[in-house]
Amino acid sequence: MSKIITDQRNLEMKYEELVKHRVELKALGDKTAYKENQQKIKDVSLALRESTKMLCRNLKENPNVSGTLLKIQEER
């Protein structure tokens, strides 16, 4: 469970970085780098979606809410 949460957090941070970088690239007008960044955003977004599905599935299978919340708080 903690590995899934860690992976989820890493994907979220990577997505955030790519979106920030997209704004910079758009201002520069570098179309090639912008398109590459857009593809990376799509890839990370897909991975993030799959990770979220897996996290939800595991939370449904292990409904120990108080224990899960404690683990999440400890991980963060």
Cut 0.85: pTM above it: no
Place of tokens 């108080």: 66
CA 63 to chain centre: 23
Between residues 15 and 72, the one the model is more confident about:
15
62 has pLDDT over 90 = no
49 has pLDDT over 90 = yes
Picking from 62, 39, 58, the residue whose alpha carbon sits closest to that of residue 50 is 58
